[in-house]
Amino acid sequence: MKNFFRTLSLITLVFIFQFNCNAAEKVEYLKTDWSFKGLFGKFDRSALQRGYQVYTEVCSSCHSMKYLSYRNLAEKGGPEFTEAQAKAIAASFEVTDGPNSDGDMFTRPGKLSDKFVMPYENVKAAQAANGGAYPPDMSVLVKARGGGVDYIYSLLQGYVDPPQGIVLDDGVHYNKFMYGNKIKMANQLSDGLIEYGDGTNATVEQMSKDVTTFLMWAAEPHLETRHQMGFKAIIYLIILTILVYFSMKKIWSRIETEV
């Protein structure tokens, strides 16, 4: 059995090594403490609420979030706005509905069941308004980028003057964390850009962290449930494994061989 585990752990090590290598072209991203990492990781509610504020006031004029509904804002494990707050948020948006009985489209205030209103009619309109670059939908953005939250967090703070000798086209910006360093999105955040409802000082770092937390939740709305359930499931499995191990020892003791 000893030999078995030695070989197995060796294989596991190689296995893990391979995956680390898969994430090639590593850049040193800025680090911060994420409350949602780790076995018991949970979202910081107020960070999520502030992050939503950053999203609506800054990002949402270009970036859609088509998989989210306003009801999600009040759901457990998310920003957990009260239902009244979420309703008010939804009602502050104009939603196109219809056709009505006359065959006409009409607008009405948003409801909890509505999806987040999109900033542009379609991808082409978004491209036309942004110099040909489509601002990606942000619903699963964190999961769609190799560096995940660290990457987004760094990117938002990665705008620096280009090094000497690098010529940028019109509408192209330099970002030290962007793949290839050239990005069509201009720097959006500056200290004190928005005024947080809870009085937190809106530094670039603070806003980057909050909005990234919000994006993580948007991509993985069930993350908290997953962590809680995972812990229970693994504890259950470990206890059962121990019990089965002793039953096995007992059963095999009937014959003169070692398991």
Partner 1 sequence: MSDNAYTPKSKFGKWFNDRLPLLSLANHLTDYPTPKNLNYWWTFGGILTFCLITQIVTGLVLAMHYIAHADMAFDSVEHIMRDVNYGWLIRYIHANGASMFFLAVYIHIFRSLFYGSYKAPREIIWIIGIIIYLLMMAAAFMGYVLPWGQMSFWGATVITNLFSAIPLVGEGIVTWLWGGYSVDNPTLTRFFTLHYLIPFLILGLVVLHIWALHVPGNNNPVGIDIKKPSKDTVPFHPYIVIKDGFALLMFMIVFAFFVFYTPNILGHADNYIEADPLVTPAHIVPEWYLLPFYAILRSVPDKLLGVVAMLSAIFILAALPWLDTSKIRSAVFRPLYRQFYWILVADVLILGYVGAMPAEGLYLLIARIATAYYFLHFLIVLPVLGYKEKTLPIPLSITEPVLGGSPNLVAARNKESFNK
Residues that bind partner 1 (CB under 8 A): 1-4, 11, 14-15, 18-19, 21-22, 24, 39, 67, 72, 136, 139-140, 143-146, 148, 179, 219-222, 226-227, 229-231, 233-234, 237-238, 240-241, 244-245, 247-248, 251-252, 255-259
Least distance from C-beta 233 to partner 1, angstroms?
Answer: 5
Least distance from C-beta 193 to partner 1, angstroms?
Answer: 28
Q: How far is the CA of 208 from the CAs of 23, 46, 136, 153, in angstroms?
A: 23, 14, 17, 6
Least distance from C-beta 91 to partner 1, angstroms?
Answer: 22
Least distance from C-beta 181 to partner 1, angstroms?
Answer: 14
What is the rounded (10 degree) CA torsion for 247, 248, 251, 257?
A: -150
Least distance from C-beta 60 to partner 1, angstroms?
Answer: 19
Least distance from C-beta 241 to partner 1, angstroms?
Answer: 4
- Neighbouring-strand partners of residue 109: 94
Q: For residue 217, give both structure tokens.
A: 């939740």
Give the closest residue to 162 by CA, choosing from 147, 173, 178: 173
State which residue, 136 or 162, has the beta carbon closest to partner 1. Answer: 136
Please say whether the beta carbons of 65 and 218 come within 8 A: yes
State which residue, 62 or 189, has the beta carbon closest to partner 1. Answer: 62
Between CA 174 and CA 90 the distance in angstroms is 36
Per residue, what are the HEC states of 168-190? CCCCCEEECCCCCCEECCCCCCC
State which residue, 20 or 164, has the beta carbon closest to partner 1. Answer: 20
Least distance from C-beta 220 to partner 1, angstroms?
Answer: 8
State which residue, 125 or 144, has the beta carbon closest to partner 1. Answer: 144
Quick one: DSSP state of residue 115? Answer: B
Between CA 202 and CA 189 the distance in angstroms is 10
State which residue, 131 or 146, has the beta carbon closest to partner 1. Answer: 146
State which residue, 2 or 31, has the beta carbon closest to partner 1. Answer: 2
**Cβ-proximal residues to 145 (8 Å cutoff; 6+ apart), any chain:** 151, 152
Amino acid at 197: G
State which residue, 156 or 202, has the beta carbon closest to partner 1. Answer: 156
